A and B are shown apart, each in its own frame.
Chain A
Amino acid sequence: DAGVIQSPRHEVTEMGQEVTLRCKPISGHNSLFWYRQTMMRGLELLIYFNNNVPIDDSGMPEDRFSAKMPNASFSTLKIQPSEPRDSAVYFCASSFWLGEMVGNTIYFGEGSWLTVV
């Protein structure tokens, strides 16, 4: 089975431009996570969807960031306008949530490496 698929793998953009990162979770998974990884802050959870509904977006840094999940097989993370401090690796991950069983393994995509110049 295919894993979590992210695109683009690498993106270089100019400050002020809009950036859209895309994610296709593993088929059958009902939970989707967006993480950001930087040297300074490590892995940070940005937003979590369950059954396509945003459940926890407390990690979204500011209004420039938005995320959508229009259906079970697709999610986007948008940054508008982008700034150099947004440069990071953005990971999408998915799992299957079974109620209070919290041990469901989270599988990660290969990441989208974003550079804002």
Chain B
Amino acid sequence: AQKVTQAQTEISVVEKEDVTLDCVYETRDTTYYLFWYKQPPSGELVFLIRRNSFDEQNEISGRYSWNFQKSTSSFNFTITASQVVDSAVYFCALSEAAGLHSGGYQKVTFGIGTKLQVIP
């Protein structure tokens, strides 16, 4: 079974503060991928990052950074110097192969999401 836990349901920060969104996952597979998606108030789901289980290097993209630690099964997301436009719901997701005996498919489980509010 796979599971994704985002323990923080809502976070509020003041603009320019740094904020970290936590994601803890469970899987028995050695090969898997992790994702972060952003859902702004307009409702669409926007892909942010993909990371495979063999690459534990941290990644930075502008004000966004991600910390992947297999030892703790965590894939945390940090926003530096937060801005009002960062206000959204952020989803962590785990992808692994399933049904390989019958051809296989991509099974993806999403966390419940963390609602981030950045206050001006």
Contact = CB atoms under 8 A, between A and B. Distances in A.
Interface string B13-49: 0000000000000000001110101000001110100
Identify whether the interface residues of A are mostly helix, strand, loop, or mixed. strand
Interface stretch (A18-26, A69-77, A78-86, A105-113): A105-113
B3 interface: no
B43 A56 contact: no
B97 A102 contact: yes
Interface residues of B, number: 29
Contacts of A95: 106
Interface stretch (B61-69, B70-78, B79-87, B107-115): B107-115
**Could you say which of B32, B43, B45 has the most chain A C-beta atoms within 10 Å of its C-beta?**
B45
Contacts of A110: 43-44
B110 A43 contact: yes
B43 A102 contact: no
Interface residues of A, number: 27
Contacts of B112: 42
A55 interface: yes
B31 A105 contact: no
A48 B47 contact: no
Interface of B: 31-33, 35, 37, 43-45, 47, 50, 52, 91, 95-100, 103-113
Interface of A: 31, 33, 42-43, 45, 48, 50, 55-56, 89, 91, 93, 95, 97, 99-100, 102-111, 113
20 contacts: A31-B105, A31-B106, A33-B108, A42-B110, A43-B113, A45-B108, A93-B45, A97-B105, A100-B31, A100-B97, A100-B104, A102-B31, A106-B35, A106-B108, A108-B44, A108-B45, A108-B47, A111-B43, A111-B45, A113-B43
